[in-house]
Amino acid sequence: MTDYFAGIPKIAYEGPDGDNDFAFRHYDPDETILGKRLEDHLRFSVAYWHSFASDGGDPFGGQTFLRPWFGPTMDHAKMKANAAFEMFRILGQPYFCFHDADIRPEGDTFAENTNRLKEMTDYLQGKMEATGTKLLWGTANLFSHRRYMAGAATNPDPDVFAFAAATVKTCLDATQQLGGENYVLWGGREGYETLLNTDLKRERQQAGRFLTMVVDYAKKIGFDGTILIEPKPQEPTKHQYDYDVATVYGFLKDFGLEGEVKVNIEQGHAILAGHSFEHELALAASLGILGSIDMNRNDYQSGWDTDQFPNNVPEVMLAYYEVLKAGGFTTGGTNFDAKLRRQSLDPQDLILAHVGGMDVCAAGLKAAARMLEDGMLEEARQARYAAWEAGDAPALLAQGTLETIADCVLRDNINPQPHSGRQEALENLVNRYL
């Protein structure tokens, strides 16, 4: 065991009025919301990478965090796992997520990577069985190592494509072994630094084939979780192919995978793509591909991914409203792909960041549930479109042609008057539930 978090108590719900930093004020896992336990709504997951692998570095400076488990050996990897599960115990969240590179040291060969991954998968399995913590999703890190600098699936070198494919196989195997409920692909290097050296058409074909192979293999091994793509517009690349939800949808349609693959949407990535988080969620829901979420915000004024813990309840409320309206998570959940600030050095920073983030999410989801239950917002929305349900409107939409419609407009001298969109009133309404 590690004693990295020595002295930090298990976090319990103490209600909104307490003044204990190490307590939940809004997150009571057992509270019933819309007929379901709050824990089962939120399905919180802690990310291995930012929490246990991040060293506090940024492009202008090196490591600031001093974690005893930083090091190249399997013993370090196990010490890291011990610390991680100690934190999971303290927080009590039901899930975690990992990349292969988070849980095992990089080896010199594919074989060594595979063996180390297997050893650590077994080790984690033991800890999961002992603690009850589950795996929300696994994934392969196909972007950090220098071999992937020009992409993994979309690399100009078929050997890299092969290495990546083989690696994903091992990660799918590990995810399956650990009962993971989803498998995620984030294509951090699937894009380009300069269009000058890039063949967009060819790289898109490679990406399509790669994803098809992933879907096929998942089926073959009986993986009954969900395959998820995580969109991001750019960074580290100048352009990333999985730009946003709409782009991913077009890609899935092109390869006939829109029924096989869903999206894992991150607030920070939505922001970078010029969208609100709730837009991406609502769009994915409307297209039938809403899978899971990464709950880490961006600073709106920093043009890179800041991956901060959520702290604005009104924003989080709008996001969960879309999730709840879509029926809530099935295999998905709320993963904290959020990282401590470079200056947040201490063990308690790691705990408090999650405590605050979980509380903000809980408060947001509860407000969203009140709004959904109350029904006034949906009522207003439906009323706005009510004319489409009446009279000739359904037929006009279903069977009209420009000619028949033009005849009708002319005959009836249709001259529509606009109606107020009531934006401010609806914004006031939303604020009522907070």
Catalytic positions are: 99, 102
Query: Contacts with its own copies: how many residues (CB under 8 A)?
Result: 155
Q: Any idea of the CA torsion for 68, 71, 75, 77, to the nearest 10 degrees?
A: 90
| List 45, 206, 296, 334, residue binding its own copies (CB under 8 A) | 206
7 contacts its own copies (rule: CB under 8 A): no
373 contacts its own copies (rule: CB under 8 A): no
CA distance 149 to 160: 10
Residue 115 C-beta: closest distance to its own copies, Å: 11
324 contacts its own copies (rule: CB under 8 A): no
419 contacts its own copies (rule: CB under 8 A): yes
303 contacts its own copies (rule: CB under 8 A): yes
| List 75, 224, 379, 427, residue binding its own copies (CB under 8 A) | 427
Which CB sits closer to its own copies, 130 or 386? 386
| Alpha carbon separation from 246 to 1, 186, 287 (Å, rounded) | 46, 16, 9
379 contacts its own copies (rule: CB under 8 A): no
421 contacts its own copies (rule: CB under 8 A): yes
Return the DSSP state at 275.
-
Residue 127 C-beta: closest distance to its own copies, Å: 26
Which CB sits closer to its own copies, 6 or 402? 402
Segment 219 to 238, residues that bind its own copies, using CB under 8 A: 220, 233-236, 238
Which CB sits closer to its own copies, 86 or 173? 173
| List 299, 373, 375, 379, residue binding its own copies (CB under 8 A) | 299
Residues paired with residue 84 on neighbouring β-strands, in sequence order: none
| List 346, 373, 375, 379, residue binding its own copies (CB under 8 A) | 346
Candidates 137, 126, 23; CA nearest to 82 is 126
CA distance 400 to 383: 23
61 contacts its own copies (rule: CB under 8 A): yes
Residue 330 C-beta: closest distance to its own copies, Å: 19
Contact 107, 25 (CB under 8 A): no
Contact 104, 112 (CB under 8 A): no
- Please identify which residue in the block is written with the tokens 């405590």: 355
Segment 65 to 104, residues that bind its own copies, using CB under 8 A: none
418 contacts its own copies (rule: CB under 8 A): yes
The C-alpha angle 38, 42, 47, rounded to 5 degrees, equals 140
Peptide bond into 29 cis (omega under 30): no
10 contacts its own copies (rule: CB under 8 A): no
| List 68, 131, 200, 219, residue binding its own copies (CB under 8 A) | 200
Which CB sits closer to its own copies, 35 or 418? 418
- Please identify which residue in the block is written with the tokens 């949808």: 249
Please identify, among the stretches 4-12, 34-42, 88-96, 405-413, the one whose residues bind its own copies according to the rule CB under 8 A: 405-413
348 contacts its own copies (rule: CB under 8 A): yes
Diameter of the chain measured on Cα atoms: 82
37 contacts its own copies (rule: CB under 8 A): no
| List 31, 34, 344, 370, residue binding its own copies (CB under 8 A) | 344
Q: At what angle do helices 200-220 and 245-254 cross, to 10 degrees?
A: 80
Q: In this structure, how many other beta carbons lie within 10 angstroms of the beta carbon of residue 388? A: 12
Kindly state the helix (H) or strand (E) to which residue 100 belongs, with its residue range.
Answer: helix 100-103
Which CB sits closer to its own copies, 40 or 315? 315
CA atoms within 13 A on the CB side of 49: 16
Candidates 163, 162, 171, 75; CA nearest to 123 is 75
